[in-house]
Chain A
Amino acid sequence: MLFGTALPAISLVVGAMVIMNIMLVAVAERTREIGIRKALGAKRTDILSQFLVEATTLSVLGAAIGIALGIGLAELIAALTPLPAAVAPWSIGAALLTGAGVGIAAGMYPASRASRLDPITALRQE
């Protein structure tokens, strides 16, 4: 159990931190864009969902790559060793869900920070 779930879960936490970091940078870089969108009438929830969707897209893409790598590794193990390793169909769904969950969790803070920006200060930013 320790090997099977706890250790990979830690990698997921680290991955979530990377996504959060990147999203924070993205929010900082696009302050002007956020200002313009707000000035044109975008609501808080619009900005929030924009960045949440962006973070989730990133992490679901990551999950898809991870699933592909996992299937590849399982095939390799099955071919090279007597272990009948195979990826269970339900685990693909679970992995995608986990990916989405990680994206939402990691994107929440940067997205809410973006949504709270004051449009006037945001527009003034270089």
Chain B
Amino acid sequence: MNRFLLILEGVGMAFEAIRINKVRAALTIAGVAIGVFVVVAMGAVVNGIRASFQQDLQAIGATTFIVQRQGTGINACDGTDEKCPDRSNPAISFEEWEMIKRLPGVQTVIGVLGGQGNFSYRNSRVDNVGYDAYSSEWPEVDAADIYPGRNYTRNEHDAGQPVVLVNDTLRAQLFGQSEPVGKKIQISGQQFTVIGVYHPKAGFLKSLEGKGPDTPRAIIPLQSSVRHLDAFKRGLALLVRPTTDAVQSEVMDEVLASMRARRGLKPGDRNDFYLIEQDRLMDTFNQLFGAIFAVGLALSAVALLVGGVGVVAIMMISVTERTREIGVRKALGATAGTIRWQFLVEAATLTSIGALIGLALGALLAWGIRSNSPIPASLPLSIVVTALVASAVTGVAFGMLPAVRASRLDPVEALRHE
């Protein structure tokens, strides 16, 4: 007989079986649905976190790379290894900054320092507020809007003027409802003038680092932070933005060669500084989070496995209950293959319905996460396809045992079965 017709007939019989045993079928389907839901939700969140990280990277410009003193990621020095060679790396100096600015193919070089201070305005006081100290071109690498107010000019930066931009949270904590721009505030005892309020783009990783929009934070001209706040100059990092017509790798080679020449490194010496491009950052991210994600997906797959075991149990019972039916069908000429096919299709129908429900719930959750948190969770086609294939495989794999058992029944014995 035609296989396609057999499938249709099998699906019809499966729905008949579901209709007769509503509670039983519902529980089985729900088990598979929960399994698929967890896998899909996990995948959507993983995908969202990765997309968010990519967004954070793209915010600083696709070809922008970082020059810094020490490496990042798993191989970076931590406090435990005193012999780590990066510890003896000299700091990136302001002179090297100036030198890189003049290299061909370089559009802008933005200096970055970080620090923290105690902010106060009249009676309001916010302690240990982290700030980013940037040179004046920072809007090119940080997708933040400034409103109300303005960014500082290059002259203000170079002269080390005591001006500061605050984010929304710090503005609310310092000024409440009153107008912030033009007000004089104290940062660790030094007087600064607020010239603007900035609204950072909420990346998930920025939030993890405590730089999200919910944390009070400020931006200060780099020179002013060095002059007035005693910022840690040895932590200087440079964001190098190549011109649009330059090739990133060539500019990186240029920077590498001029830094080595300036530091007098011989050809065999290792670099005592790091150039980090975004692919490298993405690699680091994948190294760090890949293992966690893999464990998460494996754990969620356990739920799907348990759901599959539920399918086996129910199909076994179904075969036992329908022994007589199988006997009649065999007596009327059904082959072992037809019977096997019938029960396989029934199992696959159960798991497919479960998978569709789980997929729908997962999509709903992804939508909920996307609209209520900075994680752009989404269901890419790959996850949808994986979930459907996984459920079909579950259905066939777990349906096989009961189906084979049904197909091997001896028709004479089966007909005699009460």
Contact partners of B27 in chain A: CB under 8 A:
17-18, 20-21, 24
B24 touches A21 (CB 8 A): yes
Is A18's CB under 8 angstroms from B299's CB? no
User: Given contacts A7-B299, A13-B34, is CB(A18)–CB(B309) below 8 Å?
Assistant: yes
- Taking the closest CB of chain B, its distance from the CB of A24, in whole angstroms, is 6
Could you tell me the distance between the alpha carbons of A82 and B299 in the complex, rounded to whole angstroms?
A: 21
Interface string of A1-21 (1 = CB under 8 A from B): 011000110110111011011
Instruction: Give the dominant DSSP class at A's interface.
Output: helix
- Bound complex: CA of A20 vs CA of B295, how far in Å? 29
Task: Give the CA-CA distance A20 to B310 in the complex, in Å.
Answer: 10
Known: A21-B24, A21-B27, A21-B28. A14 touches B310 (CB 8 A): yes
User: Is B133 located at the chain interface by the 8 A CB criterion?
Assistant: no
Contacts of A24 in B (CB 8 A): 23-24, 27
Which residues of B lie under 8 Å from residue A13 when comparing CB positions? 34
Q: Which of A7, A8, A11, A18 contacts B313 (CB 8 A)?
A: A18
B38: chain A residues at CB < 8 Å are: 7, 10
Query: Contacts A21-B310, A22-B313, A24-B24 given: A14-B299 contact, CB under 8 Å?
Result: no
The distance in angstroms between the C-alpha atoms of A13 and B299, with both chains bound, is 14
Which of A10, A13, A15, A22 is packed against the most chain B CB atoms within 10 Å? Answer: A10
Question: Judging by beta carbons under 8 Å apart, are B34 and A14 in contact?
Answer: yes
- Interface residue tally on B, bucketed by range: 20 to 34
Whole-angstrom distance between the Cβ of B305 and the nearest chain A Cβ: 8
Chain B 255-297 interface mask (CB, 8 Å, partner A; 1/0) = 0000000000000000000000000000000000000100110
A2 to B293, CA, bound (A): 12
B129 CB contacts on chain A under 8 angstroms:
none
CB-defined interface of B1-43 with A at 8 Å, one 1/0 digit per residue?
0000000000000000000000110011011001100100010
Complex Cα spacing A22 to B320, Å:
13
A17 & B310 in contact (Cβ 8 Å cutoff): yes
Which residues from chain A contact B292 at a C-beta distance below 8 Å? 3
From B30, B34, B309, give the contact of A10 (CB < 8 A): B34
Q: Does A25 lie at the interface of the complex (its beta carbon under 8 Å from any beta carbon of B)?
A: yes
> Is A17 in contact with B30, judged by CB distance below 8 angstroms?
yes
Contacts of B23 in A (CB 8 A): 24
B152-186 residues with Cβ-Cβ distance < 8 A to A are: none
- Say yes or no: B302 contacts A8, CB within 8 Å: yes
Which parts of B292-335 form the interface with A (CB within 8 Å)?
A: 292, 295-296, 299-300, 302-303, 305-307, 309-310, 313-314, 317
**Which B residues lie within 8 Å of A17 (CB)?**
27, 30-31, 34, 310
- Encoded as 1 (CB less than 8 Å from any A CB) or 0, chain B from 34 to 54 comes to 110010001000000000000
Q: Which residue of B lies closest to A2 (CB)?
A: B296
**A7, A14, A20: which contacts B307 (Cβ < 8 A)?**
A14
Query: In whole Å, how far is A77's beta carbon from the nearest beta carbon of chain B?
Result: 12
Across the interface, which residues of A come within 8 angstroms of B302, CB to CB? Answer: 7-8, 11
Contact B310 A18 (CB under 8 A): yes
Q: Are B31 and A14 in contact (CB under 8 A)?
A: yes
Across the interface, name the chain B residue whose C-beta is closest to A12. B306
- State A65–B337 Cα separation when bound (angstroms): 35
Q: Which B residues are CB-close (under 8 A) to A2?
A: 296
Residues of A within 8 A of B303 (CB): 7, 10-11, 14
CB distance from A12 to the nearest CB of B (A): 8
Most buried by B among A10, A14, A15: A14
A24 to B302, CA, bound (A): 24
CB of B296 within 8 A of CB of A18, answer no
Smallest CB separation, A28 vs chain B (Å): 9
Closest to A25 in B: B317
Specify which chain B residues have a CB less than 8 angstroms from the CB of A3 in the assembled complex. Answer: 292, 295-296, 299
Chain A residue at smallest Cβ distance from B310: A18
Residues of B within 8 A of A15 (CB): 306
Pull 24 A–B residue pairs with CB atoms less than 8 Å apart, ordered by A.
A2-B296, A3-B292, A3-B295, A3-B299, A7-B38, A7-B303, A8-B302, A10-B34, A10-B38, A11-B303, A13-B34, A14-B310, A17-B34, A17-B310, A18-B306, A18-B307, A18-B309, A18-B313, A21-B24, A21-B310, A21-B313, A22-B317, A24-B23, A24-B24
Chain B residues in the interface with A (C-beta under 8 A): 23-24, 27-28, 30-31, 34-35, 38, 42, 292, 295-296, 299-300, 302-303, 305-307, 309-310, 313-314, 317
